Amino acid sequence: MSVAVLQRPRSKSIARPAPPDPLISMRAVSKGYGSGVTRNAVLNNINLNLRKGEFLAIVGFSGSGKTTLTKLLAGLEMPDSGEIVMENEVIKGPSEERGIVFQNYSLLPWLTVRGNIALSVDRVFKHWSRGERHDHVEKFIEMVGLSHAVHRRPHELSGGMRQRVSLARTLAMKPNVLLLDEPLGALDALTRSVLQEEILKIWEEERQTCLLITNDVDEAILLADRIVPLNPGPNASLGPAFSVELDRPRNKTELNHNETFKGLRNAVTNYLVAVRQKSRDDEALSSEAPPIELPDLQPRSLRIPRGRAG
Ligand SMILES: Nc1ncnc2c1ncn2[C@@H]1O[C@H](COP(=O)(O)OP(=O)(O)OP(=O)(O)O)[C@@H](O)[C@H]1O
């Protein structure tokens, strides 16, 4: 295996403006579950800056700790060591400043599309007039293309439609940071593709700081400004950041023929493949049985003394 693919991609020597300040910083964060022999060390020494207005994608394998990372950023889990800081304040619990969309949309089954979104809007924007809140809800329903289904309840919607409601509900709360934890993971390829385009369009309009967790390299390149791989666990750490040097607005169909897109897809995929192979090799080495030490014995005599035979 080539070691070169594990190295940080070379940055171009063009002078770039300084990156914007981080909105959230993870500093030397480690997290595991359980204790003693049953302890599962999931994340180890994670250092990550999520910059204001950027779209960052974390790509990684199943079980590497992606959801754990999102929950830490959301304040739903606390680090075992290290800290997570948002605008100079250590994150100590969940907050409406950080909106999350999970893979399994958790909609209230007795409320309609409008009702599910309005519930959150009414809670966050209590100080707005009824008319303002109504218009705000309608804007986000329209943004995700569900105006024709406002009166439907979740069981009357397809998976893709439910995920749109979930997205609209979180976007409508206007969080400072949007945390998308494999939001399209449960959808079929076609619906996934349509929703990718929609997220892209919405993000290009709103430019909210956004962190997307995904296992789909193409999706990460289409949407993000920067891609950071999460190496396989246990004790998963972050790999080198890959910068996505593709102009916006982006068009998925056109990107398929774009050389920068293809090169980046190869670089990220090769990195992930190499790092997984390394993790497997390390695992195999550490689980190999130690060599057995044979006792230093010398045979004395194989002859059976006379009279004892039989
Ligand atoms: N609350 C918990 N208690 C104990 N172990 C947990 C808990 N949550 C996650 N884990 C374990 O932590 C590890 C990482 O899980 P996590 O869900 O963060 O990974 P993931 O990369 O999001 O996985 P997937 O892509 O399959 O959803 C797994 O081994 C999982 O079993």
Q: Check residue 5 and give its pLDDT.
A: 45
Average pLDDT for 76-84: 96
Residues lining ligand 1, CB < 6 A?
33, 40, 42, 60, 62-68
CA of 267 to the centre of ligand 1 (A): 27
Answer whether residue 103 shows pLDDT above 60: yes
In a domain, 18, yes or no: no
Query: Of 70, 39, 72, 75, which Cα lies nearest the Cα of 234?
Result: 39
Cβ neighbours of 301 (radius 10 Å)? 6
Which of 117, 141, 174 terminates a domain? The answer is 174
Answer whether residue 146 shows pLDDT above 50: yes
**Residues 189 and 254 both lie in one domain:** yes
CA of 79 to the centre of ligand 1 (A): 14
Answer whether residue 262 shows pLDDT above 80: yes
Answer whether residue 246 shows pLDDT above 90: yes
Three-class SS state of 23: strand
CA of 33 to the centre of ligand 1 (A): 9
Q: Which atom of ligand 1 is nearest to the CA of 69?
A: 18
Per residue in 4-23, pLDDT (tens digit) is 445 544 544 556 666 677 99
**Residues 151 and 183 both lie in one domain:** no
Coarse DSSP helix, strand, coil percentages of the chain, rounded to the nearest 5 percent: 40, 20, 40
**Separation of alpha carbons 306 and 310, rounded Å:** 10
Average pLDDT for 37-56: 93
Q: Check residue 4 and give its pLDDT.
A: 44
In a domain, 3, yes or no: no
Of 106-120, 141-155, 235-249, 273-287, which range is least confident? 273-287
85 DSSP β-pair partners? 25, 90
In a domain, 293, yes or no: no
Q: Check residue 31 and give its pLDDT.
A: 96
**Residues 158 and 208 both lie in one domain:** no
Higher pLDDT, 191 or 221: 221
**Residues 146 and 86 both lie in one domain:** no
CA of 83 to the centre of ligand 1 (A): 20
Cβ neighbours of 204 (radius 10 Å)? 13
Average pLDDT of the chain, as a whole number: 87
Omega before residue 249 within 30° of 0, cis: yes
Closest protein CA for atom 6 of ligand 1:
33
Q: What percent of the chain has pLDDT over 70?
A: 89
Mutating to test ligand 1, I would choose from 29, 30, 31, 33 the residue with most ligand atoms within 8 A of its C-beta, which is 33
Mutating to test ligand 1, I would choose from 39, 40, 59, 76 the residue with most ligand atoms within 8 A of its C-beta, which is 40
Cβ neighbours of 91 (radius 10 Å)? 20
**Residues 223 and 164 both lie in one domain:** no
Q: Check residue 3 and give its pLDDT.
A: 40
Cβ neighbours of 40 (radius 10 Å)? 14
Q: In terms of residue numbers, what domain contains 167?
A: 109-174
CA of 28 to the centre of ligand 1 (A): 19
Closest protein CA for atom 16 of ligand 1:
65
In this predicted complex, what is the ipTM? 0.97
CA of 81 to the centre of ligand 1 (A): 18
Answer whether residue 273 shows pLDDT above 60: yes
Mutating to test ligand 1, I would choose from 64, 68, 73 the residue with most ligand atoms within 8 A of its C-beta, which is 68
pLDDT confidence tier of residue 2, bands split at 50, 70 and 90: very low
**Separation of alpha carbons 219 and 197, rounded Å:** 10
**Separation of alpha carbons 163 and 104, rounded Å:** 8
pTM over 0.80: yes
The strand ranges marked E within the chain are 22-33, 40-51, 55-60, 81-86, 89-90, 98-101, 177-181, 209-214, 226-230, 242-243
Kindly provide the b/e burial profile for residues 251-286, where b requires at least 16 CB atoms within 10 angstroms of the residue's own CB: eeeebeebeebeebbeebeebbebbeeebeeeeeee
In a domain, 161, yes or no: yes
**Residues 117 and 265 both lie in one domain:** no
**Residues 203 and 77 both lie in one domain:** yes
Count: domains in the chain:
2
Give me 55's structure tokens: 């779209």
Answer whether residue 309 shows pLDDT above 70: no
Number of helices and strands in the chain (H, E): 8, 10
CA of 173 to the centre of ligand 1 (A): 27
